[in-house]
């Protein structure tokens, strides 16, 4: 019985840790409220996979640069990656129609 309680406690701790990690990734709705410089600081060194896992499939891709475009309401978030798929720069702007 004591072993079951310990296993359950460890399991619950793992669930809490994993859920807090996922919850700490910035959401698109918070990024669009930032300046491009602030957004770059928040997302710098994140991977393309991390962003796609948390934000889903991008709404567009860049031509001539390595990056993706995510739309949120009337704003666009353009994320530029280096050759290792790491965020190098972020541009937050009004969405172009």
Per-residue pLDDT of the chain (97 residues; tens, 9 = 90+): 777 767 666 555 665 565 555 558 999 999 999 999 999 999 999 999 999 999 999 999 998 889 999 999 999 999 999 999 999 999 999 987 5
Position 13 in a domain: no
Position 65 in a domain: yes
The count of domains in the chain is: 1
Least Cα distance to 74 among 94, 92, 50, 91 occurs for 94
**Residue 92 and residue 77 in contact, taking contact as beta carbons nearer than 8 Å:** yes
| pLDDT value for 17 | 60
Count the helices and strands in the chain (H runs, E runs): 4, 4
Position 43 in a domain: yes
> Residues 84, 23, 26, 41: is their CA dihedral positive or negative?
negative
Q: Name the H helices within the chain.
A: 2-23, 28-31, 36-43, 48-55
> Which domain does 62 fall in, by range?
27-94
What is the pTM (predicted TM-score) of this model? Answer: 0.74
| pLDDT value for 21 | 52
| pLDDT value for 3 | 75
Position 60 in a domain: yes
């Amino acid at each position: 019985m004591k072993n079951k309680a310990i296993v359950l406690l460890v399991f619950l701790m793992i669930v809490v840790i994993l859920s807090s990690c996922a919850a700490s990734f910035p959401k698109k709705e918070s990024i669009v409220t930032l300046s491009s410089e602030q957004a770059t600081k928040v997302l710098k060194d994140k991977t393309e996979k991390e962003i796609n896992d948390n934000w889903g499939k991008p709404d567009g891709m860049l031509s001539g640069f390595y990056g993706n475009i995510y739309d949120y309401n009337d704003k666009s978030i353009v994320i530029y990656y280096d050759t290792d798929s790491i965020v190098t720069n972020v541009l937050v702007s009004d969405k172009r129609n």
